[in-house]
Amino acid sequence: MELDRLRELHREVLARVGSVVVGQEENIHLLMVCLLARGHVLLEGVPGIGKTLLARTFAACTGLEFKRIQFTPDLMPGDVVGTNVFDFQRNAFTLSRGPIFTEVLLADEINRTPPKTQAALLEAMQERQVTLDGRTHPLSDGFLVVATQNPIEHEGTYPLPEAQLDRFLLKLVIRHPERADEVELVLRHGARDASLRFDERGVGAVCDLETLSDARRTVAAVTLAEPIAGYVVDVVRATRTHADLQVGASPRAAVVLTAAARASAALDGRDYVIPDDVKALLAPVLRHRVVVAPGAEIEGRTAEQVVASIIARTEAPR
């Protein structure tokens, strides 16, 4: 796929998703980055802020199969991945596939279910496959988990394990819209019922899995110069020695950050990565991979602020 065509595709996705989801242009862009970089994304925000709407509309615009799991305290791993059921007519076990066998999986309120069920997603997110009773079942090449979670201070939530968090390429924080965007939201959707009918709202697919595969090949060909790679490594390594961080980012963070930077550069119409591509992605890539030290947390410092300070003192290549 030519870079100009990829850039145009990106604009179409931004426009169509933006016709339903108001004021989330940056998060729509980052969802596209995540999809092209073969990652997964975690959306955090209070209820009623449009996390589910964003995920559903994005899936509809990319033409990928969409399924949703509502995570609850009594959800079992088999409800996610499926199970083998004995077929008496065939005298054999057959696989009853769970909702994880799809392309875009919305894991709604993932932190309202116990860690055992959360862990059912680990193999699928990392290896893009599911193992049941010793047999491996591959998932679609377009497999993307969009998980939503309420802030951890809300009642009835279970913090996601660090191993699970590390499988998410990006963590996006969905905040309340600006006043002008909220007025536009009310004007645009206030006269409709609560149900979401994409055909009535002019939202349709602008690509398919074949187009996505072509776009990913274009992203893989984007040049990452050695000085840029060194800059990524320097920033990630700085998180491990920063006084305000109890836990720094792993080498996996550096690897996925470069993949995301390649995707962002391609969507911007460039076949090479620049430092600004890396800087723009550092907060969503690192905010869930680092742990703020208790002393810094008491003083009110956040992971985003610490990452910003690391960016400021790490020299970028020219």
Per residue in 191-213, pLDDT (tens digit) is 665 556 665 566 788 888 899 99
* 114 against 302, higher pLDDT: 302
Range of the domain at 240: 222-313
C-beta of residue 161 within 8 angstroms of C-beta of residue 167 = no
Question: 133 with 59, same domain?
Answer: yes
Q: How many domains are contained in the chain?
A: 2
Q: What value does the mean pLDDT take over residues 77-85?
A: 87
Residues of the chain with pLDDT > 90: what percent? 60
What mean pLDDT is predicted for residues 67-94? 85
Q: Is residue 65 part of a domain?
A: yes
149 and 290 assigned to the same domain: no
Q: What is the pLDDT of residue 152?
A: 65
* Residue that finishes a domain, picked among 178, 213, 248: 213
pLDDT at 252: 93
User: Can you tell me the mean pLDDT for 314-318?
Assistant: 90
- Backbone φ and ψ of 177, nearest 5°: -70, 160
Report if residue 318 sits inside a domain.
Answer: no
Query: Percent of the chain beyond pLDDT 70?
Result: 95
Query: Does residue 282 fall inside a structural domain?
Result: yes
Residues 63 and 154 in one domain: yes
Domain identity same for 138 and 11: yes
Tell me the whole-structure pTM to 2 decimals.
Answer: 0.90
More confident residue, 82 or 274: 274
Task: Indicate if 173 and 34 belong to the same structural domain.
Answer: yes
**Which domain CATH number covers 110?**
3.40.50.300
Do 40 and 109 sit in the same domain of this protein? yes
pLDDT in tens, 19-53: 888 889 999 999 999 999 999 999 998 888 889 88
Q: 41-44 and 144-149: which strand pairing? A: parallel
Is 91 within a domain?
no
Same domain, 305 and 200: no
Answer for the pair 268, 47: CB distance below 8 angstroms, yes or no: no
Say if 64 falls within a structural domain.
Answer: yes
Mean pLDDT for 220-246 is: 96
Residue (of 179, 211, 196) closest to 103 by Cα position: 211
Domain presence at residue 90: no
CATH code: domain of residue 232? 1.10.8.80
- Residue 153: per-residue pLDDT: 60
Structure tokens at 204: 């349709």
What is the rounded distance in angstroms from the CA atom of residue 98 to the CA atom of residue 199?
27
Quick check: is 154 in a domain? yes
Centroid of chain to Cα 196: 22
Q: Is residue 147 included in any domain, yes or no?
A: yes
Q: Is the pLDDT of residue 240 over 90?
A: yes
